[in-house]
Structure 1
């Protein structure tokens, strides 16, 4: 397509400019923010406020806000958030042809 740059053509120069470590850190931050945004969408679809979810989790509303901004995303924190919404968080080790549920 004309007028568009392929990601494959951009990735190399970006990594050369900022370095692999900073690139990966930026990618992880974006993924955490996207995950938090999606969790907030699920909470809203369930008709729950941040304050209500915080009460169920036993944390402050500010903590729920941090989770939904991707600033708090350890396995334990995410598991508590998901459980408060009635879900389950699964941790799976993926070895290609073999998977192992580890949490």
Structure 2
């Protein structure tokens, strides 16, 4: 018999041990984690583009009208809104496209 458990078994044991979180709360936590991961990945890609262009954080900050510290935060995934991302990307000559995915449909949103 294996000492290893499947992920489903681990989650089931965690729910039994600490049922204080509702399904809605768990779903909210998953969405929060997903959003944070997406922001981190986007920030990473913006940094890569900036570095490929040989532009410093200070140069981007001056172009966008924000502090160098804020540029650093954005590149580390501390992005708070879509307009910040769009402005940063525009300073690098890039665009951010937004789409809505629902079932098998994808619609351009902005």
Which 10-residue stretch deviates more, 26-35 or 11-20?
11-20
Q: CA RMSD in A?
A: 2.9
TM-score relative to the length of structure 2: 0.71
Q: Secondary structure at the match of 2:96?
A: coil
TM-score relative to the length of structure 1: 0.75
Residues 1:88 and 2:95 aligned together? yes
The correspondence for 2:81, drawn from 71, 74, 77, is 74
Q: Secondary structure at the match of 2:100?
A: strand
- Runs (5+) with no aligned partner, structure 2: none
- Runs (5+) with no aligned partner, structure 1: none
Residue aligning to 1:40: 47
Answer whether contact 1:50 1:65 (CA < 8 A) is retained.
yes
Q: Which structure's CA Rg is the greater one?
A: 2
The correspondence for 1:25, drawn from 5, 16, 32, is 32
Aligned counterparts of 2:106 and 2:34: Cα–Cα separation in 1: 25
The correspondence for 1:60, drawn from 61, 64, 67, is 67
State how many pairs are aligned: 101
Deviation at 1:39, TM superposition (A): 1.5
Aligned counterparts of 1:49 and 1:86: Cα–Cα separation in 2: 14
Answer whether contact 1:15 1:23 (CA < 8 A) is retained.
no
